[in-house]
Structure 1
Amino acid sequence: MDDWSVPFRTTIRMPEPGVAREQFRGVMRMFPSAVSVVTALDARAVPRGLTCSAVTSLSMDPPTMLVCVNQANGSLSAIRGSGGFVVNLLRAGSEAVSDVFASASADKFGALAWRPSPGSGLPWLAEDALAFVDCRLIADVAAGSHAILVGLVTHGDLTSATEDGPMVYWGQQYGCWHANHLGPDVAT
């Protein structure tokens, strides 16, 4: 069995960009993304977190998640220090929660209900998350302005009625994805 106690760390040497930054930003605005809050505890056991749309499953065998965090974000050191993170997929109607975690506020958890996740004890937004996954950090790759974090999923579950649907972000606006948006040809 592999020893995952120390995350794999490396840096990718980035080439010169092939497209202008603003052009790339405009194109990326057209990619709809689920809105998640990624949480951890810092060295003093203070909860930290950030709104993140750069989240995806990486593998089913073993179950792993990939999260991209800006190197300048203060929550990154909490994730690294705690050795893991929780991805809280926000349910529809959680715009205020997303905005707080996207801000530079030092007290993002002040007016928010949270509890320790069942797996790691890291912050879980049970009232605002449609689903969550608890991850142990197994790889940390520096790539340009961001760190690509790979987490081994140790626990996860649905936490809210699924008819709420997930909150999405597209074209610089929040929205909601409901099953009835799938159309008549898609089996649910």
Structure 2
Amino acid sequence: MTGMRTVRADIDMRVLMTGFPTGVCIVTSQDDGVPWGMTCTSLCSVALDPPTLLVCLRRGSPTLGAVLASRAFAVNLLHDGARSSAELFASGAADRFDRIDWRADDEACGPHLVLSAHTVADCEVSATSEVGDHVVIMGRVRRMSVLRTQQPLLYGLRRYATWPQAVADTDPHLDFIN
């Protein structure tokens, strides 16, 4: 086969995962009132009953520390105009929450990125499992907030993208309403 190359998985898993496009979210939490957050593409729906999400966070990250300490987090699903927010929260900048608009009411499990997210899920940690250099966190969804019906931000092949216009003209929430 032309163009085929083989790479050992223990050398670089990124080779495999760059060919798997996915949505982009920012996982947020608070520890003693201090907001923490990181860009994440490791998000998965686990169950509808009870509604449960799975996120994978890098071991040693301050965001993981806040999630484990508070036993709660928010998943901010980014819209197609939020690439700069994804990059900011991937950068590790200490002042990231000073540079973005966010809210956290009494019911929030983590900061809501109100200008960057199209939907936010507030989750309570229901289980954790250490796997390699990450921690898998199961979160039971306690509340979901739809902020806008903008198209989702996508990531794959080491770049950001969005749906083609033909797909973007449909309402992504119709399947859930009917």
* Aligned sequence identity (%): 33
Count how many residue pairs are aligned between Structure 1 and Structure 2.
Answer: 164
> Which residue of the partner structure matches residue 24 of structure 2?
35
CA–CA distance in 2 between the matches of 1:115 and 1:178? 31
User: 1:106: how far off?
Assistant: 1.4
> Which residue of the partner structure matches residue 9 of structure 2?
19
Divergent runs of 4+, >6 A:
none
* Cα contact 1:39–1:123 (8 A) shared by 2: yes
* Cα contact 1:69–1:76 (8 A) shared by 2: yes
> Which residue of the partner structure matches residue 3 of structure 2?
none
**Which amino acid letter does the alignment assign opposite residue 75 of structure 2?**
V
> What is the TM-score normalised by the length of structure 1?
0.81
CA–CA distance in 2 between the matches of 1:118 and 1:168? 30
Query: Structure 1 regions of 5+ residues with no counterpart?
Result: 1-17
CA–CA distance in 2 between the matches of 1:21 and 1:34? 25
SS of equivalent to 2:167: helix
SS of equivalent to 1:58: strand
User: What pairs up with 1:79-118 in 2 under 5 angstroms?
Assistant: 79-117=67-105
Is 2:159 the partner of 1:170?
Answer: no
User: What pairs up with 1:120-159 in 2 under 5 angstroms?
Assistant: 120=108, 122-159=110-147
**116 and 76 in structure 1: CA distance in 2 versus 1, 3 angstrom threshold:** same
* 1:70 pairs with one of 53, 58, 68: 58
CA–CA distance in 2 between the matches of 1:170 and 1:111? 26
**Which amino acid letter does the alignment assign opposite residue 19 of structure 1?**
A
